């Protein structure tokens, strides 16, 4: 269950680019020159592409790691959804993701890439959270206080999710929805962005429009 309220940080594009460049600078400062960069999908795609640019590396590939959990299990289980598409035998590798949250993703990725025979595996993220049980080799920023980070390449998806959370049985106006996003999640999104999230929620049947430009929770036919 997602709690009723927690702090979020919206990262703007220019800040995400600065963090990505700072991550590349860390790797360079350590004199690590990987044979292969592996982006973890989907969050690592943009950071990894920028790191490759800054380090003049052409060899970029990706893997996708997903998490599965049940109500009975507190800790989710990481699984490789899309595996490596190339032989990493005897290569030095840099695995790139956006953030360490629990650290589970990177820990699983490292174990997987090592098992596949890489000679050396190092990891880099934009933001490393204190809550992570795994310490990446490189990061651009350390987050001592926990918060949910909304990266610009996930802004729409995250806004759809948060907007769904603030909708209630009684209709809310756009202004009330934006106020609730700010109060509960510290998300200050502009009206266009919230309108786009609402449009998708309406199309998905997760929101209903009422007269007076008010929106309330949709009750989907399936589930309950």
Among 3, 4, 14, 72, binds a copy of itself (CB under 8 A): 14
Structure tokens at 68: 């599965």
Q: Is 90 helix (H, G, I), strand (E, B) or coil?
A: coil
Task: Measure the CA–CA gap between 129 and 135, rounded to whole angstroms.
Answer: 9
117: contact with a copy of itself by CB under 8 A:
no
Instruction: Kindly indicate which of the ranges 78-86, 139-147, 169-177, 211-219 contains the residues binding a copy of itself, using the contact rule CB under 8 A.
Output: 78-86
Closest CA to 28 of 64, 9, 54, 53: 54
Among 5, 6, 53, 195, binds a copy of itself (CB under 8 A): 53
Among 95, 106, 126, 155, binds a copy of itself (CB under 8 A): 155
Q: Are 64 and 80 in contact (CB under 8 A)?
A: yes
Among 33, 77, 81, 130, binds a copy of itself (CB under 8 A): 81
Among 8, 84, 180, 194, binds a copy of itself (CB under 8 A): 84
Instruction: Kindly indicate which of the ranges 41-49, 132-140, 164-172, 178-186 contains the residues binding a copy of itself, using the contact rule CB under 8 A.
Output: 41-49
For the chain, counts of helices (H) and of strands (E):
6, 10
Beta-sheet pairing, 120-129 with 138-143 = parallel
Structure tokens at 71: 């109500």
Q: Kindly tell me which of 110 and 171 has the beta carbon lying closer to a copy of itself.
A: 110
Residue 99: in which H helix or E strand, if any? Answer: strand 92-100
Give the binding site for a copy of itself (CB under 8 A). 13-14, 17, 39, 41-42, 45-46, 48-50, 52-54, 56, 58, 60-64, 81-86, 152-157, 160, 200
């Amino acid at each position: 269950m997602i709690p009723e309220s927690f702090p979020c940080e919206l990262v703007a594009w220019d800040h995400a680019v600065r963090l990505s460049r700072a991550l590349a600078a860390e790797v360079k400062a350590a004199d690590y020159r990987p044979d292969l960069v592996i982006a973890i999908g989907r969050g690592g795609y943009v950071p990894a592409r920028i790191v490759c640019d800054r380090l003049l590396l052409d060899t970029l590939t990706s893997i996708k790691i997903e998490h599965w959990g049940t109500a009975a299990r507190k800790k989710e289980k990481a699984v490789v959804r899309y595996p490596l598409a190339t032989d990493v035998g005897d290569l030095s590798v840099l695995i790139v993701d956006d953030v360490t949250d629990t650290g589970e993703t990177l820990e699983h990725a490292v174990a997987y890439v090592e098992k596949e025979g890489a000679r050396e595996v190092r990891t880099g993220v934009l933001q490393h959270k204190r809550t992570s049980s795994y310490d990446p080799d490189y990061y651009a920023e350390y987050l001592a206080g926990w918060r949910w980070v909304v990266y610009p390449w996930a802004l729409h998806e995250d806004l759809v999710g948060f907007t769904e959370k603030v909708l209630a049985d009684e209709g809310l106006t756009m202004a009330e929805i934006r106020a609730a996003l700010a109060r509960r999640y510290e998300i200050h999104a502009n009206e266009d962005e919230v309108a786009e999230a609402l449009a998708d929620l309406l199309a998905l049947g997760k929101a209903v429009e009422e007269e007076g430009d008010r929106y309330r929770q949709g009750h989907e036919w399936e589930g309950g």
